[in-house]
Amino acid sequence: MAETSLPELVGEDKATPCPSILELEELLRAGKSSCSRVDEVWPNLFIGDAATANNRFELWKLGITHVLNAAHGGLYCQGGPDFYGSSVSYLGVPAHDLPDFDISAYFSSAADFIHRALNTPGAKVLVHCVVGVSRSATLVLAYLMLHQRLSLRQAVITVRQHRWVFPNRGFLHQLCRLDQQLRGAGQS
Protein backbone atom coordinates (compact mmCIF):
# COMPACT_ATOMS: atom_id res chain seq x y z
CA MET A 1 0.00 0.00 0.00
CA ALA A 2 1.28 3.42 -0.86
CA GLU A 3 1.70 5.90 1.97
CA THR A 4 -1.76 7.15 2.90
CA SER A 5 -2.24 10.87 2.67
CA LEU A 6 -5.19 12.93 3.73
CA PRO A 7 -5.46 15.57 1.04
CA GLU A 8 -8.47 17.80 1.50
CA LEU A 9 -9.74 15.83 4.49
CA VAL A 10 -7.21 17.31 6.90
CA GLY A 11 -8.66 20.79 6.50
CA GLU A 12 -12.12 19.68 7.63
CA ASP A 13 -13.67 22.21 9.98
CA LYS A 14 -13.62 21.06 13.62
CA ALA A 15 -17.03 22.70 14.05
CA THR A 16 -18.64 20.31 11.56
CA PRO A 17 -21.09 18.25 13.59
CA CYS A 18 -20.80 14.50 13.81
CA PRO A 19 -22.65 12.95 10.89
CA SER A 20 -25.96 11.29 11.64
CA ILE A 21 -26.14 7.50 11.69
CA LEU A 22 -27.88 7.59 8.30
CA GLU A 23 -25.12 9.81 6.87
CA LEU A 24 -22.49 7.45 8.27
CA GLU A 25 -24.25 4.48 6.71
CA GLU A 26 -24.24 6.30 3.36
CA LEU A 27 -20.49 6.93 3.71
CA LEU A 28 -20.01 3.27 4.58
CA ARG A 29 -21.90 2.19 1.45
CA ALA A 30 -19.63 4.37 -0.71
CA GLY A 31 -16.08 3.43 -1.64
CA LYS A 32 -14.74 -0.07 -2.00
CA SER A 33 -17.62 -2.52 -2.40
CA SER A 34 -15.77 -5.68 -1.43
CA CYS A 35 -12.95 -6.87 0.74
CA SER A 36 -10.51 -9.71 0.85
CA ARG A 37 -9.75 -11.70 3.96
CA VAL A 38 -7.30 -8.96 4.95
CA ASP A 39 -6.75 -5.39 3.72
CA GLU A 40 -4.24 -2.71 4.64
CA VAL A 41 -6.34 0.33 5.62
CA TRP A 42 -3.58 2.59 6.97
CA PRO A 43 0.17 2.16 6.62
CA ASN A 44 1.07 -1.12 8.38
CA LEU A 45 -2.45 -1.45 9.82
CA PHE A 46 -4.63 -4.26 8.51
CA ILE A 47 -8.24 -5.30 9.08
CA GLY A 48 -9.02 -8.95 8.53
CA ASP A 49 -11.09 -11.96 9.45
CA ALA A 50 -10.62 -14.86 11.85
CA ALA A 51 -9.42 -17.21 9.11
CA THR A 52 -6.47 -14.92 8.42
CA ALA A 53 -5.73 -14.49 12.12
CA ASN A 54 -5.74 -18.27 12.60
CA ASN A 55 -3.30 -18.82 9.72
CA ARG A 56 0.20 -18.32 11.15
CA PHE A 57 1.81 -18.79 7.73
CA GLU A 58 -0.35 -16.02 6.23
CA LEU A 59 0.52 -13.72 9.14
CA TRP A 60 4.20 -14.46 8.59
CA LYS A 61 3.88 -13.69 4.84
CA LEU A 62 2.20 -10.37 5.69
CA GLY A 63 4.85 -9.55 8.27
CA ILE A 64 2.28 -9.21 11.06
CA THR A 65 3.94 -8.58 14.43
CA HIS A 66 0.88 -7.58 16.47
CA VAL A 67 -2.67 -8.98 16.56
CA LEU A 68 -5.68 -7.28 18.11
CA ASN A 69 -8.55 -9.78 18.29
CA ALA A 70 -11.83 -7.88 18.61
CA ALA A 71 -13.75 -11.15 19.07
CA HIS A 72 -11.63 -12.78 21.76
CA GLY A 73 -13.26 -15.62 23.65
CA GLY A 74 -14.47 -19.18 23.42
CA LEU A 75 -17.49 -18.46 21.24
CA TYR A 76 -15.57 -16.55 18.61
CA CYS A 77 -11.89 -16.52 17.81
CA GLN A 78 -9.12 -18.30 19.59
CA GLY A 79 -5.76 -16.67 19.81
CA GLY A 80 -3.46 -15.33 22.42
CA PRO A 81 0.11 -15.93 23.49
CA ASP A 82 -0.33 -19.72 23.47
CA PHE A 83 -1.43 -19.69 19.82
CA TYR A 84 0.99 -17.05 18.48
CA GLY A 85 3.97 -17.73 20.70
CA SER A 86 6.56 -15.04 21.23
CA SER A 87 6.65 -13.93 17.58
CA VAL A 88 3.42 -11.91 17.78
CA SER A 89 2.22 -9.46 20.43
CA TYR A 90 -1.46 -10.03 21.21
CA LEU A 91 -4.39 -8.13 22.69
CA GLY A 92 -7.80 -9.77 23.03
CA VAL A 93 -11.01 -7.75 23.29
CA PRO A 94 -14.05 -9.89 24.22
CA ALA A 95 -16.51 -7.85 22.14
CA HIS A 96 -19.90 -9.07 20.96
CA ASP A 97 -21.22 -7.75 17.65
CA LEU A 98 -24.45 -6.50 19.19
CA PRO A 99 -25.73 -2.91 19.04
CA ASP A 100 -26.09 -2.75 22.84
CA PHE A 101 -22.54 -3.99 23.55
CA ASP A 102 -20.32 -1.23 25.00
CA ILE A 103 -17.29 -1.49 22.74
CA SER A 104 -16.30 2.05 23.72
CA ALA A 105 -14.91 0.60 26.96
CA TYR A 106 -12.09 -0.79 24.79
CA PHE A 107 -11.44 2.27 22.58
CA SER A 108 -8.47 3.57 24.59
CA SER A 109 -6.72 0.26 25.29
CA ALA A 110 -7.13 -0.93 21.69
CA ALA A 111 -6.02 2.41 20.22
CA ASP A 112 -3.01 2.52 22.55
CA PHE A 113 -2.02 -1.05 21.58
CA ILE A 114 -2.20 -0.16 17.87
CA HIS A 115 -0.35 3.13 18.40
CA ARG A 116 2.50 1.56 20.37
CA ALA A 117 2.83 -1.17 17.75
CA LEU A 118 2.89 1.22 14.80
CA ASN A 119 5.59 3.26 16.52
CA THR A 120 7.79 0.16 16.63
CA PRO A 121 10.10 -0.02 13.58
CA GLY A 122 9.03 -2.78 11.20
CA ALA A 123 5.80 -3.55 13.04
CA LYS A 124 2.56 -4.46 11.28
CA VAL A 125 -0.78 -4.81 13.05
CA LEU A 126 -3.74 -7.03 12.21
CA VAL A 127 -7.03 -6.05 13.83
CA HIS A 128 -9.60 -8.77 13.29
CA CYS A 129 -12.93 -10.13 14.43
CA VAL A 130 -14.88 -12.97 12.82
CA VAL A 131 -15.55 -11.36 9.42
CA GLY A 132 -13.51 -8.15 9.70
CA VAL A 133 -16.40 -5.76 9.11
CA SER A 134 -17.91 -4.47 12.37
CA ARG A 135 -15.96 -4.95 15.63
CA SER A 136 -12.48 -4.74 14.14
CA ALA A 137 -13.43 -1.78 11.95
CA THR A 138 -14.89 0.04 14.97
CA LEU A 139 -11.63 -0.31 16.91
CA VAL A 140 -9.56 0.84 13.92
CA LEU A 141 -11.83 3.87 13.44
CA ALA A 142 -11.42 4.72 17.14
CA TYR A 143 -7.62 4.45 16.77
CA LEU A 144 -7.64 6.81 13.78
CA MET A 145 -9.73 9.28 15.76
CA LEU A 146 -7.75 9.06 19.00
CA HIS A 147 -4.18 8.88 17.71
CA GLN A 148 -4.28 10.21 14.15
CA ARG A 149 -6.70 13.02 15.06
CA LEU A 150 -9.14 12.20 12.27
CA SER A 151 -12.79 13.06 12.64
CA LEU A 152 -15.19 10.14 12.43
CA ARG A 153 -16.11 11.21 8.90
CA GLN A 154 -12.43 11.34 7.88
CA ALA A 155 -11.70 7.97 9.48
CA VAL A 156 -14.63 6.26 7.72
CA ILE A 157 -13.63 7.70 4.34
CA THR A 158 -10.01 6.66 4.87
CA VAL A 159 -10.81 3.06 5.81
CA ARG A 160 -13.49 2.70 3.11
CA GLN A 161 -10.94 3.56 0.43
CA HIS A 162 -9.30 0.22 1.20
CA ARG A 163 -11.91 -2.13 2.70
CA TRP A 164 -15.65 -2.64 2.89
CA VAL A 165 -16.59 -2.19 6.55
CA PHE A 166 -19.95 -1.70 8.24
CA PRO A 167 -20.03 -1.34 12.05
CA ASN A 168 -23.42 -2.02 13.59
CA ARG A 169 -25.59 0.97 14.57
CA GLY A 170 -24.79 0.71 18.26
CA PHE A 171 -21.07 0.92 17.48
CA LEU A 172 -21.70 3.88 15.16
CA HIS A 173 -23.50 5.69 18.00
CA GLN A 174 -20.51 5.04 20.28
CA LEU A 175 -18.10 6.33 17.62
CA CYS A 176 -20.27 9.46 17.28
CA ARG A 177 -20.00 10.04 21.03
CA LEU A 178 -16.23 9.68 20.81
CA ASP A 179 -16.16 12.11 17.88
CA GLN A 180 -18.18 14.65 19.88
CA GLN A 181 -15.94 14.24 22.95
CA LEU A 182 -12.77 14.70 20.89
CA ARG A 183 -14.14 17.74 19.08
CA GLY A 184 -15.27 19.25 22.38
CA ALA A 185 -11.81 18.72 23.85
CA GLY A 186 -10.20 20.22 20.75
CA GLN A 187 -12.25 23.42 20.98
CA SER A 188 -11.28 24.31 24.55
| Active centre residues (catalytic) | 129
Three-class secondary structure of residue 34 per DSSP: coil
HSE (CB half, 13 Å, CA atoms) of 148?
28
Q: What is the rounded distance in angstroms from the CA atom of residue 73 to the CA atom of residue 51?
A: 15
Q: What is the rounded distance in angstroms from the CA atom of residue 53 to the CA atom of residue 59?
A: 7
